[in-house]
Amino acid sequence: MTKGTPSQGKHNKGSNHIVCRRCGRRAFHVRKKVCAACGFGKSSKIKRFAWQWKKVTGKGNRVK
């Protein structure tokens, strides 16, 4: 068994994120038990921020 830099490439086999039960995105962290997209497992409210939507001034349709 060798050690060093060549061996470190073998540490990328598993996947940290699986499909989330709540939002359906592949963002649920297996070890943390928290969804990175919607916050499932951490909060009962859906994770959302103001910077997700473009700010619209004046009249017109809201842009998402």
User: Is the pLDDT reported for residue 62 higher than 70?
Assistant: no
Q: What is the pLDDT of residues 40-56, one digit of tens each?
A: 999 999 999 999 888 87
Check the annotation: does 57 bind a ligand. no
Domain span at residue 27 reads 15-56
CATH of the domain at 50: 2.20.25.30
What is the rounded distance in angstroms from the CA atom of residue 33 to the CA atom of residue 27? 10
Residue partners of 55: CB distance under 8 A and separation at least 6: none
Instruction: Confirm whether 3 is domain-assigned.
Output: no
Check the annotation: does 38 bind a ligand. yes
Instruction: Confirm whether 9 is domain-assigned.
Output: no
Instruction: Confirm whether 48 is domain-assigned.
Output: yes
Instruction: Confirm whether 33 is domain-assigned.
Output: yes
Check the annotation: does 35 bind a ligand. yes
User: Is the pLDDT reported for residue 63 higher than 70?
Assistant: no
Instruction: Confirm whether 4 is domain-assigned.
Output: no
| Dihedral over alpha carbons 44, 50, 51, 52 (to 10 degrees) | 60
The total number of structural domains in the chain stands at: 1
Q: Specify the pLDDT at position 44.
A: 96
How many CB atoms are located within 10 Å of the residue 2 CB? Answer: 6
Instruction: Confirm whether 41 is domain-assigned.
Output: yes
Percentage of the chain with pLDDT > 70? 91
Structure tokens, 23: 């939002």
| pTM, full prediction | 0.68
